[in-house]
C-alpha cells in the first residue's frame, strides 16, 4: 500500500503491530495464537523490526486501559465504533511517546502514516494534533497510571483479595517479565550453564529461590541459547518450575499431567524423575502438537491423550495414579505481565465458569489417585476464589483428603490453604500451589 511516497505494508513493523492488535480487539485472538500463525511467522521482517512490532503489540495490551483514559480526556468527542482502528493507532502513538520515549517527530509522523494506511485521511489532523499536544503539555507516565492499567473488575478483585498488598501486585503486573530458563540439572550444572552462556555473550544469573532457574539480563532468541536444542535449557518462569519437584515422584510411579499442554511441566517431570510412566492429557489437539514438539526436543516420551480431564470415563482405563498434576484452567491473572492480552480478552463473566470447571476437574481426578498418592493443584492466578477458596471447598467435599502443608519452602506465602506467589515476588509470575494426599498404603 502506498501513501504519498511512503510504502506501508508487511515490511513496516508499526503496520504489522496494528494488524496484530486489531486481531486481538476485533476477533478476540490471543497473542500466542497470532504470533504462532502462518501470517505472522511468514512476515519478511528482520530481527530488529520483528522486535519492534512485538514491543508495540505487548505494550499496547499492557497499557491499553491507562492510555485509553488519557486519550478519552484529550478527545473533543468520542471516536465512532467503526473507527476502533484510529483509537488503536492513537494509543500506539501514546505508547511510543510515553513509554518507549521515541523521538517525538518520529513517533508522530509514523503514527500519522498508520492512519493514512487505513484509508482514513480525515484522521491525519486528529492524530497529529493530539500527539503533539501530549508532547507540548509534557505528559508523563506515573505510578497512578500504572494502577489504571487494568479493567475495573480486575482492579476490584485484586484490591478485595489482597488489601495493602494489592498496589504492589498491580504495579508488578505492568512490568516486563524476565526471560527465565530451566536447566535440566541431570544433564548440566547450573553454574556450568551460566558460564557457557557468558562465553557466547549472554548474561545470566541464578534465581534467588529456585535451584533449576536462571534469569537472563535481557531476552534473546532461543536459537542462540547453547543447549536449548538438546533440551538442557527450556524457557519457563521460575514459579512454574516449582511444580515437578513438589510431586517428588518415585521411580516407576504412574503420573498424570492433566491439562498438560503446551508441555513445560510435562517436560520438567520427565527430566526430574527417572523411569516414571507419564500420561500427558489435554483437551486441545493443537496445543498437544506443541507438547509433542517439546518432548521431541528434550528426547523424552509420554503417553499423550486428547481428552477432557473432567470426564475420565472417556479415557481412564482403571489403573490409578501415584501422582497427579492438576495445572487447572484459570483466569491467568498471575501472568498478565507476561501475557498482557489477558487484560483485553478475559471477562469477569468468565470467572464463574472457570471456578466450576476447576471444581469438576478436581472432583473427577481425585477418584483416580491411589491411596498414599499425591495430587498437586496449581494455577497461574492471584484470585483467591480460584486458589485457597477452591481448595477449602474441595477439602470440605472430600473428607478423605488431607492437605500437605508447604511449610518448609522459602517461596511465596503460606495461606490458610495452599501457598501463594504474588506477581513479581522474587521476580516470579503469580502462582498458587496446594499439595493434597489420600491417606493410606501407597
| Model pLDDT, residue 47 | 87
265, 235 in Cβ contact below 8 A? no
- Tell me how crowded residue 252 is: count the other CB atoms within 10 A of its CB: 11
Q: Looking at the annotation, which residues are catalytic? A: 380
Instruction: For residues 79 and 71, give the distance between their C-alpha atoms in angstroms, rounded to a whole number.
Output: 10
pLDDT tens digit sequence for 266-324: 999 999 999 999 999 999 998 999 999 999 999 999 999 999 999 999 999 999 999 99
- According to CATH, the topology of domain 2-146 is N-utilizing Substance Protein B Homolog; Chain A (1.10.940)
Instruction: Report residue 100 as a C-alpha cell.
Output: 518507549
Instruction: Kindly report, residue by residue over 372-394, the tens digit of the pLDDT.
Output: 999 999 999 999 999 999 999 99
Is the confidence at residue 2, as pLDDT, over 60? no
Residue 424 CA, distance from chain mean position = 13
pLDDT at 442: 58
Please write the tens of the pLDDT for every residue from 136-169.
999 998 878 888 999 999 999 999 999 999 999 9
Residues contacting 162, CB < 8 A, separation 6+: 169, 382, 422
Retrieve residue 244's grid coordinates. Answer: 515437578
Whole-number pLDDT of residue 45: 87
Cβ(205)–Cβ(194) under 8 Å?
yes
Q: Report the half-sphere exposure of 216 (CA within 13 A, side-chain side).
A: 26
> For 319-348, what is the mean pLDDT?
97
| Distant-in-sequence, close-in-space partners of 159: CB < 8 Å, separation ≥ 6 | 166
CA distance 406 to 391: 14
pTM, two decimal places:
0.94
Residue 441 banded pLDDT, cuts 50, 70, 90? low
What is the residue extent of each domain of the chain?
2-146, 179-235, 240-437
Return mean pLDDT, the chain. 95
- The answer to whether residues 238 and 426 touch, using CB atoms and an 8 Å cutoff, is yes
Q: How far apart are CA 364 and CA 376, in angstroms?
A: 14
Does pLDDT of 348 surpass 70?
yes
Lowest mean pLDDT among 41-50, 77-86, 200-209, 355-364: 41-50
Domain boundaries 179-235, corresponding CATH code: 3.30.70.1170
Task: Tell me what the mean pLDDT of segment 34-55 comes to.
Answer: 92
C-alpha cell at 277: 510412566
pLDDT at 113 over 50: yes
> What CATH code is assigned to 240-437?
3.40.50.150
Cα(134)–Cα(71) distance, integer angstroms: 10
Over 90: is that where the pLDDT of 10 sits?
no
**pLDDT confidence bin for 4, thresholds 50/70/90:** very low
Q: pLDDT band for position 1 (50/70/90)?
A: very low
Amino acid at each position: 500500500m502506498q501513501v504519498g511516497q511512503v510504502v506501508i505494508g508487511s515490511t513496516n513493523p508499526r503496520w504489522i503491530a496494528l494488524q496484530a492488535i486489531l486481531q486481538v480487539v476485533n476477533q478476540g485472538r490471543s497473542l500466542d495464537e497470532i504470533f504462532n500463525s502462518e501470517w505472522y511467522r511468514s512476515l519478511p521482517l528482520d530481527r530488529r523490526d520483528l522486535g519492534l512490532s512485538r514491543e508495540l503489540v505487548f505494550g499496547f495490551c499492557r497499557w491499553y486501559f491507562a492510555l485509553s483514559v488519557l486519550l478519552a480526556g484529550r478527545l473533543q468527542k468520542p471516536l465512532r465504533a467503526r473507527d476502533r482502528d484510529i483509537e488503536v493507532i492513537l494509543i500506539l502513538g501514546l505508547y511510543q511517546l510515553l513509554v518507549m520515549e521515541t523521538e517525538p517527530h518520529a513517533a508522530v509522523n509514523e503514527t500519522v502514516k498508520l492512519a493514512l494506511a487505513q484509508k482514513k485521511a480525515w484522521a491525519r489532523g486528529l492524530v497529529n494534533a493530539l500527539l503533539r499536544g501530549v508532547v507540548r503539555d509534557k505528559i508523563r507516565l506515573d505510578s497512578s497510571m500504572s494502577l489504571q492499567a487494568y479493567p475495573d473488575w480486575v482492579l476490584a478483585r485484586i484490591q478485595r483479595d489482597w488489601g495493602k498488598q494489592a498496589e504492589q501486585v498491580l504495579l508488578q503486573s505492568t512490568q516486563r517479565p524476565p526471560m527465565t530458563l530451566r536447566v535440566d540439572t541431570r544433564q548440566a550444572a547450573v553454574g556450568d550453564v551460566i558460564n557457557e552462556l557468558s562465553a557466547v555473550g549472554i548474561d545470566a544469573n541464578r534465581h534467588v529461590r529456585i535451584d533449576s532457574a536462571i534469569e537472563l539480563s535481557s531476552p534473546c532468541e532461543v536459537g542462540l541459547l547453547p543447549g536449548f536444542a538438546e533440551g538442557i535449557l527450556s524457557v519457563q518462569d521460575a514459579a512454574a518450575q516449582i511444580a515437578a519437584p513438589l510431586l517428588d515422584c518415585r521411580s516407576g510411579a504412574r503420573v498424570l499431567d492433566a491439562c498438560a499442554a503446551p508441555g513445560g511441566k510435562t517436560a520438567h517431570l520427565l527430566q526430574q524423575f527417572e523411569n516414571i510412566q507419564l500420561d500427558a492429557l489435554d483437551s486441545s489437539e493443537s496445543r498437544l502438537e506443541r507438547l509433542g514438539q517439546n518432548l521431541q526436543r528434550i528426547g523424552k516420551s509420554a503417553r499423550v491423550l486428547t481428552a477432557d480431564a473432567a470426564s475420565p470415563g472417556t479415557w481412564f482405563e482403571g489403573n490409578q495414579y501415584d501422582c497427579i498434576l492438576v495445572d487447572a484452567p484459570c483466569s491467568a491473572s498471575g501472568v498478565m505481565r507476561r501475557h498482557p492480552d489477558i487484560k483485553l480478552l478475559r471477562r469477569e463473566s468468565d470467572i464463574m465458569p472457570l471456578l466450576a470447571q476447576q471444581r469438576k476437574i478436581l472432583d473427577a481426578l481425585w477418584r483416580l489417585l491411589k491411596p498414599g498418592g499425591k495430587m498437586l493443584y496449581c494455577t497461574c492466578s492471584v484470585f483467591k476464589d480460584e486458589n485457597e477458596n477452591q481448595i477449602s471447598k474441595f477439602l470440605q467435599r472430600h473428607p478423605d483428603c488431607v492437605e500437605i502443608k508447604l511449610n518448609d519452602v522459602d517461596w511465596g506465602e503460606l495461606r490458610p490453604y495452599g501457598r501463594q506467589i504474588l506477581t513479581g515476588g522474587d521476580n516470579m509470575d503469580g502462582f498458587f500451589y496446594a499439595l493434597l494426599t489420600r491417606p493410606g498404603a501407597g
